Structure formats: structure tokens, C-alpha cells
Structure 1
Amino acid sequence: MTENLVGEYLRARREQVRPEDVGITATGARRVPGLRRDELAMLAGISSEYYTRLEQGRDRHPSAQVLDAVARALGLDPASTTHLHDLADPAPRRRRTSRRTERVRPSVARLLATWDRTPAFVQGRHLDVLAANPLAVALSPLFRPGTNLLRAVLLEPDAHRLGPEWEATAAELVAVLRSAAGPDVADPHLAELVGELSVRSELFRQLWARHDVRRHPGGGVYRVTHPQVGDLELRYDKFAVADAEDQVLVVYQADPSSRSAEALALLSSLAAAVSPA
């Protein structure tokens, strides 16, 4: 964690841009990966001296126009450009000095419990599972309340067996966490999670150093080989929980005419048989 958030982000993104991809002919040995500072400054239409001050944290108040120019030069997508602006001008409400316990509203928890044929859970801003129905837990132990999805995907051996695309999933989760955290370097939960994973996971260190950001995807496809019902291919959708900062409801469903629908129905029966009345 650092206080030079803009500089760290720009340096990480600059190192991932190949000169030839932006029309610069690279000749001879280069001491840095990606673009040099003077090359990026040229592409952005600003002086090399000013860009150096910006990246080194000696200019803390860049204009929106300068940030947009640098973002275009780096080829940042809209989510990454927004992230850059947020780092340069963090909202005071995101600053926290004490750990805050996230809770799901009782009405939302009751709603989850009524969905006995639809796996669903709620995750918090740091990718903790805050609440889940029995079918979600039966679908994957990763969805058990109290689990941090990113920690589980990176560190639990079972996570690698349950999903064939676990490395891509880890990369997506790291980018989502980076986006949700934004400039909130004082958040103790985030610092604890990043510190633990930096020590225990080489893959996390590599992914976190890239500074990729991604908003929560609205949905996607979840594929898993379940030990009881076999292969499942489910569609999931994500919905923001109203009046609950950064909480997301994740809901899974199968194509009604598919083999996965039959397997999910069987899993629902198995989950009901072991759930308390």
C-alpha cells in the first residue's frame, strides 16, 4: 500500500504498453519494460518533466484534462480511466480508519432462504460471502458464508479442482477488488487481506502489481464439476443490493432444457435432505 496512488498506478500501466503497439519504434536495448516516461508524455501531449513529477507524486493535483490525456495514451478502458480519476481525487467518504463489519439486511437473508431451487449468495466489497442459501453452499464450499472468495480461489486446493478456469477467475477477482478498493488505502480489512495474500500467493503478487481494475461484471457462465451431480454449466447474474454499499447479490440458473438443469434439480433435492427443517 502506498500514498502515491496515482504514480504507482501509472507506472504499472506504463510498463504493460509495448512501444510497437502505440506506433513507437523500439531500437536497441531498453532498460524498462513497456514505455519510457518521455514516450508516454509525448503520446499524452504533455512535457516529460511534468509527467515525471506526476508519476513521482510531486504533483498531487493533476487536471481532469491531463488525466484523460494520459489515460488515452495508455489505452485505458472506461473503468480504468474512472479508477485513475478516483485515485487522483478520492472521495472523503471512502476513507476509513477502523474495521467495519458488513451485514446483510434480514429481509435479504430471508429472500435467499426462500430460493430452494436457485443458488444465490451476497458478497461484500472485499469479496467476502456475507449470506448464502443452502443450495449455493451445496453447489460450492466457496460460497459458504464467512468465506473470502479471492482468498479461497488462491489458497484452497479444492478451488482448483472445482473450477477449470481458476486462474482467470483469480485475475478477475483481483481486478474487482482493486476497483472496489479505489483510493481507500486506510481500510484495515483491505490492508489485512492484501498483506496476507501477498505473503502466501505468488500469483496474487503478480496480479496485484498489474493494477488491473474491473467493475463487477453483470453476469457470466460458471462451469464446475460437482462431486455429487457431475458437470454443471450455469448462468449467473449480479445485482447491486440497494442501500448496502458495494454489496452484490449473485444468482445462478441453468438453461431449463439442459443437462445442467437436471443436475441442479438433483443437487437441490440433496441439499434439502441435509438442511435443517
Structure 2
Amino acid sequence: MGSPLGDFVRAKRDSIEPASLGLPERGRRRSPGLRRSDLAARAGISVEYLTRIEQGRDRNPSIPVVNALADALSLDRAERDHLRYLSKITGGECSAHTRPVPPRREVRSSVLQTLRLLEPGIAMVANRLGDVLAHTGGFALVTSGTGLLDGDAPNLTRYVFTDSRARSFFADWGDVADEQAFDLWLAPSVENSEWFATELAPVAGPDFTRRLNRHVVPRRGTLRLNHPAGHEFRLLRETLELPSDAQQLVVFLPADDATAGALDQLRQRDRLQGRLRAIS
């Protein structure tokens, strides 16, 4: 039986071309990537120990070993943070038998006031499970007709993987799917993440489970949206962490003049139709 830590190390090893690290090619191989022996040598550990880590038979590598693996794999800062997090949860600091407590859905009044100040901009408050907990009217306008905010408890992760409209709405659906799957590792608690992933996997299928288990740290570039009204949006994202609430405030900004113009057209049409949108 594997482990999240072992899965990540193995996935990164498989993704590395030996030549990128200055290592010679050693003939054809049945599997891609860096050999265990090469990674073990770079990290200063034995091949047998690396095998135990990758297979989940050693779940408590020391901090120096974790740092050595990060160096040997040439991980960037986000990947190093993820490796340390996986080392923590794999080592058993979080009990898998603890009954999951749902993350809080309440949004503090001061955060809601901040959202009001951001109108008519595009902003939302969410948690790492993908629950959309509050949003501006601008966010509702940009997502109108997509199905994202349908229902009493909208969830972005569930929408991305189970609603066919998401694949049209998100121009780079695969990138967004990678982001939402990865964020489950950063959920309010390990128990929350496991509970949600177990619930979602049967209906989301292999697109979800494959992304969840390969541990690709997303780059989170420009978000491209295809609005049902025919507008194309390119949005930058600024994220404010609310650690005491295990929530995030995400603000979406036009990435170019064309997007700013399209947003103005959408707002003008909404005003003409006389619809009033309030903070949710």
C-alpha cells in the first residue's frame, strides 16, 4: 500500500529527464524518468530506503531526508511546501479515524463588508474543498447561466468534475481541474479532504482520482472563461488567505482591455434588465 508522500516522490521522479540534471542516458528503459539509483545517490540515501518511502513502507522520514529529496528532485518552493505537508500527514500526525468535522461555512461580517466594498468587482470567499461561501454580484454576473451557483451550497470542485457545462465555461478546463484536485490536499483538515474525495470520486470518475493522486502543483495562470452570452474573459486572480477561518478571499481582475470592455457590456445589459444582485 502506498502513501501520499511516496506517490508524490515517485511521480516527480518519473517526470524528470536525466539529461535535465546533467545525468547521462543509460539506454532504453521500460519506465520514464529518473532511476531510483540516481535519485538515491543525489539525496544521499540508499536505494532500499528510497524504495520503502515510495512504496509507503517507511512513513516517517526525517526532516533532513525530506529536504534532501526536495533538493535531489529540484523542487520549486510550492512543491517543497507540498512535500513537507505530505510528509507530515503521511507520518500519522493526523488521525485517519477521527470523524470529519465539516469546515465552517460562516463568513465573518468584516469579510462580507470587504466583499461589498469590492462591488461591482468579481470576488468570492471559498474554502479549499471548493465551497463557494459568499460572492459579489460581479461574480454572480460572470458565472450566470453556467450552473456554478445553482443550488443552496455551490461547490466549485464538484461543479468542475461533474457538470458538463464546466468544460465549456473554463477554456482551460484541465488546468482548473488540476487546481481543484490539488487544493483538496490543502483542505481545512486531512479528514475533511478524505471525506470529500471519497464522496466525489464515484461520480467524478478517473479524471478526478488521477489528478488527486499525481500531486502536480498547479501554476494558477490567467483564468480564461467562455461566458454563455458569448463573451470571452481573461482574468487575473489575487488571493487573500484567511487562515483563522480556513477560507480564502479571491479577487478576479481583467487581464486585458478586451476583457474589461466585455465585462462593462455584461454589466450594462444586467442593469437594463433591472436585476438586483446582493452579497450571497
Structure 1 unmatched runs, 5+ = none
Matches within 5 A, 1:191-270: 191-194=195-198, 196-197=200-201, 200-214=204-218, 221-228=222-229, 230-241=231-242, 243-245=244-246, 247-254=247-254, 258-266=260-268, 269=271
Q: Say yes or no: does 1:142 pair with 2:145.
A: no
Q: Matches of 2:266 and 2:236 in 1, distance apart?
A: 12
CA separation of 1:170/1:56 partners in 2, compared to 1, >3 Å: closer, same or farther? closer
- Give the superposition deviation at 1:188: 4.3
CA separation of 1:85/1:271 partners in 2, compared to 1, >3 Å: closer, same or farther? farther
Q: Could you report, residue by residue, the CA deviation over 1:214-239 in whole angstroms, capped at 9, with x for unpaired residues?
A: 59x5xx53332323372333333211
Letter in 2 for 1:171: D
- Match in the other structure for 2:184: 177
Q: Is the 8 A contact 1:222 1:233 kept in 2?
A: yes
Letter in 2 for 1:139: V
Q: Secondary structure at the match of 1:11?
A: helix
Q: Matches of 1:188 and 1:256 in 2, distance apart?
A: 37
Pairs aligned (count) = 268
- Give the superposition deviation at 1:273: 1.5
What TM-score do you get using the length of structure 2 for normalisation? 0.79
Letter in 1 for 2:141: A
- Match in the other structure for 2:101: 99
Q: Could you report, residue by residue, the CA deviation over 1:241-266 in whole angstroms, capped at 9, with x for unpaired residues?
A: 25312x11112334796423522532
Q: Matches of 2:57 and 2:195 in 1, distance apart?
A: 24
What TM-score do you get using the length of structure 1 for normalisation? 0.79
- Give the superposition deviation at 1:181: 4.2
- Match in the other structure for 2:121: 118
Q: Matches of 2:118 and 2:41 in 1, distance apart?
A: 56
Letter in 2 for 1:98: P
CA separation of 1:48/1:223 partners in 2, compared to 1, >3 Å: closer, same or farther? closer
Q: Could you report, residue by residue, the CA deviation over 1:125-157 in whole angstroms, capped at 9, with x for unpaired residues?
A: 212111123331221142566222122122212
- Give the superposition deviation at 1:124: 0.6
Deviates more, 1:189-198 or 1:57-66: 189-198
Q: Secondary structure at the match of 2:31?
A: coil
CA separation of 1:57/1:76 partners in 2, compared to 1, >3 Å: closer, same or farther? same
Deviates more, 1:266-275 or 1:37-46: 266-275
Deviates more, 1:129-138 or 1:252-261: 252-261
- Match in the other structure for 1:156: 163
Q: Matches of 2:277 and 2:79 in 1, distance apart?
A: 43
Q: Is the 8 A contact 1:136 1:143 kept in 2?
A: no
Structure 2 unmatched runs, 5+ = none
- Give the superposition deviation at 1:123: 0.7
Letter in 2 for 1:175: F
- Match in the other structure for 2:88: 89
- Match in the other structure for 1:64: 63
CA separation of 1:102/1:85 partners in 2, compared to 1, >3 Å: closer, same or farther? same
Percent identity (aligned): 32
Q: Say yes or no: does 1:13 pair with 2:5.
A: no
